[in-house]
Amino acid sequence: MIIQPKTRGFICITSHPEGCAKNVQNQIDYIKSKSPIDGAKNVLVIGASTGFGLASRITSAFGENAATIGVFFEKPPAEGRTASSGWYNTAAFEEQAHKAGLYAKSINGDAFSNEIKEQTAQLIKKDLGKIDLVIYSLASPVRTHPETGVRYKSTLKPIGNTYTNKTVDFHTGEVKEISIEACTEEDIVNTVTVMGGEDWQLWIDKLKKEGLLADNFKTVAYSYIGPKLTEPVYRKGTIGKAKDHLEATAFNITDGLKDIKGKAFVSVNKALVTQSSSAIPVIPLYISLLYKVMKEKNLQEGCIEQIYRLFKERLYLDEIPVDSEGRIRIDDLEMRDDIQEKVAQLWKEATTESLSEIGDLEGYKDEFFNLFGFNFDGIDYEKDTNEMVSIPGLQ
Ligand code: NAI
Ligand code: NA
Per-residue pLDDT reduced to its tens digit, 144-195: 999 999 999 999 999 999 999 999 999 999 999 999 999 999 999 999 999 9
Q: Tell the residue nearest (CA) to atom 28 of ligand 1.
A: 137
pLDDT at 108: 98
Q: Is the CB of 234 under 6 A from ligand 1?
A: no
pLDDT band at 277 (very low <50, low <70, confident <90, very high): confident
Q: What is the interface pTM, i.e. ipTM, of the complex?
A: 0.98
- Of 73, 291, 310, the residue with max ligand 1 atoms within 8 A of its CB, to mutate for a pocket test, comes to 73
Mean pLDDT of the chain, nearest integer: 97
Tell how far the Cα of 346 is from the centroid of ligand 2, in angstroms: 29
59 is in an annotated binding site: no
pLDDT at 57: 98
Q: Is the pLDDT of residue 9 over 90?
A: no
Q: Is the pLDDT of residue 275 over 90?
A: no
Angstrom CA distances, 82 to 192, 218, 356, 390, stand at 32, 36, 32, 12
74 is in an annotated binding site: yes
48 is in an annotated binding site: yes
Tell how far the Cα of 120 is from the centroid of ligand 2, in angstroms: 18
93 is in an annotated binding site: no
Determine the atom of ligand 1 nearest the C-alpha atom of 195: 32
Q: Is the CB of 51 under 6 A from ligand 1?
A: yes
**How many Å apart are CA 295 and CA 136, to the nearest integer?**
29
pLDDT band at 341 (very low <50, low <70, confident <90, very high): very high
**How many Å apart are CA 95 and CA 100, to the nearest integer?**
9
Tell how far the Cα of 87 is from the centroid of ligand 2, in angstroms: 13
pLDDT band at 73 (very low <50, low <70, confident <90, very high): very high
Per-residue pLDDT tens for 220-250? 999 999 999 999 999 999 999 999 999 999 9
Q: Is the CB of 95 under 6 A from ligand 1?
A: no
Q: Is the CB of 106 under 6 A from ligand 1?
A: no
**Mean pLDDT throughout 205-231?**
97
DSSP 230-280: GTTTTTTBHHHHHHHHHHHHHHHHHHTTGGGT-EEEEEEPPP---TTGGGS
DSSP helix/strand/coil, 152: strand
pLDDT at 303: 97
Q: Is the CB of 170 under 6 A from ligand 1?
A: no
DSSP helix/strand/coil, 354: coil
Contact 155, 194 (CB under 8 A): no
Task: Report which bound ligand comes closest to the CA of 287.
Answer: 1
**pTM over the 0.80 mark:** yes
The residues that are catalytic are 234
Task: Report which bound ligand comes closest to the CA of 306.
Answer: 1
**Mean pLDDT throughout 82-110?**
98
Task: Report which bound ligand comes closest to the CA of 47.
Answer: 1
Tell how far the Cα of 349 is from the centroid of ligand 1, in angstroms: 31
